[in-house]
Amino acid sequence: MSAPGFAQQLPPRRRFETGAWVSGLAYDRAGRVLGVAGGDGRVWCIDVTNDAPPSPPEPAHKGVALSIVENPSGDGFISGGDDGRLLRHGDTARELEFFKGGWLERLAAHAKTATLAVAAGKEIIVHGAGGRRVLGPHPSTVADIDFSPDGSRLVAAHYGGVTIHVLKPADAAPRSLQWKGSHVAVRYSPDSRFIATGTQDNALHVWRLATGRDMQMSGYPVKVKQLAWSHDSRFLFGTATSLFTGWSFAGKGPEGKPPIQFGDEGAGIMTAIAGHPADSFIAAGFDTGEVQLGDSKTRRSAVIKLAGDGQVSALAWSPGGWSLAVGTDQGVVEMIDLRR
């Protein structure tokens, strides 16, 4: 879809170019600043209320800025890099920790409990109200982490399954949920009833936490690197498809049932996905650069960014979900206003 007439119907947006692969996006808690992590080590803090072109910051990391999250205990952002540095970004950048040889690709922040977690090799380091805590070692390098919705638990994905750490009380034993192979992405459902992973074997794996019973959804053409639940926990979506593909967890769950599918054919393969924080919308970015907004309730979708600018590498919703930030591997960032 590239007709000029169609482009004029797209939602309004602000666009700028960073000059390097966009590895991560995050809005601050107020939704006034967008943090952008870049492949050249720069971390941009963009005032979303100011339409003036942003000035490039000096590189904060000596290599690649791999990850970024909102600062859970105040203003600004936290970033991790392949230089092993964990940085806090406010008026200036300040080093929180240094991990020699570290590759800080996975961060997680929980605002209500003011807790930050960073995966470093086989361990996870947690900064919270109780101070600094080290979780692990795990059976392999931690591939992804996620807080439970209430922040009382932290789950780690690794080879052979996931490990659930109880953060309060701190002396509680972790819980292990096992399944063969490498698990590369993990997400709690918003109702805390399920944990889902994307696996190296081109599949989704889900555990029902009350019973430990698990289920496997396979047949994806490539490995599923990102997951998104609908806000009501009814549907689970993953990347690696050409259409929105949602598994229903209503009633007895998806076992023996086909997924729902909707969307526009021809956009390519989905490379990024993000669920709206408060509504039934799911945003999906594709390897062609196109972005679609799907609705799990009506099972319809709309194109909100045309193809081009490289592969979509990151998506982030603003608090409240009025704006969607899109980043590509060619360094393009768009903030799409969806209020109309």
Residue 1 confidence (pLDDT) above 50 = no
Question: What is the number of residues in the chain?
Answer: 340
For residue 56, give the 3-state DSSP assignment.
coil
Residue 161 confidence (pLDDT) above 70 = yes
Task: Give the Cα separation of 29 and 27 in Å (integer).
Answer: 7
Residue pair 213/207 in contact (Cβ under 8 Å)? The answer is yes
Residue 129 confidence (pLDDT) above 50 = yes
Residue pair 203/221 in contact (Cβ under 8 Å)? The answer is no
* Model pLDDT for residues 194-228, shown as the tens digit of each residue: 999 999 999 999 999 999 999 999 989 999 999 99
- State the burial class of residue 218 (Cβ atoms within 10 Å of its Cβ: 0-12, 13-18, 19+): exposed
Task: Give the Cα separation of 210 and 259 in Å (integer).
Answer: 23
Task: Give the Cα separation of 45 and 36 in Å (integer).
Answer: 7
What HEC string does 163-187 produce? EEEECCCCCCCCEEEEEEEEEEEEE
User: Residue 123's beta-bridge partner residues?
Assistant: 120
* Model pLDDT for residues 11-28, shown as the tens digit of each residue: 999 999 999 999 999 999
Q: Which bin fits 234, alpha (ψ -120 to 50), beta or left (φ > 0)?
A: alpha
With residue 206 as reference, give the H or E element that holds it: strand 204-208
* 329 or 265, which is more confident: 329
User: Residue 186's beta-bridge partner residues?
Assistant: 197
pLDDT of residue 4: 53
- Look at the alpha carbons of 42, 36, 2, 260 in this order and tell me if their dihedral is positive or negative: positive
Residue 5 confidence (pLDDT) above 90 = no
Task: Give the Cα separation of 331 and 114 in Å (integer).
Answer: 31
User: Residue 14's beta-bridge partner residues?
Assistant: 335
Q: How far is CA 172 from the centre of its chain?
A: 28
Task: Give the Cα separation of 195 and 174 in Å (integer).
Answer: 15
pLDDT of residue 6: 66
pTM of the model: 0.95
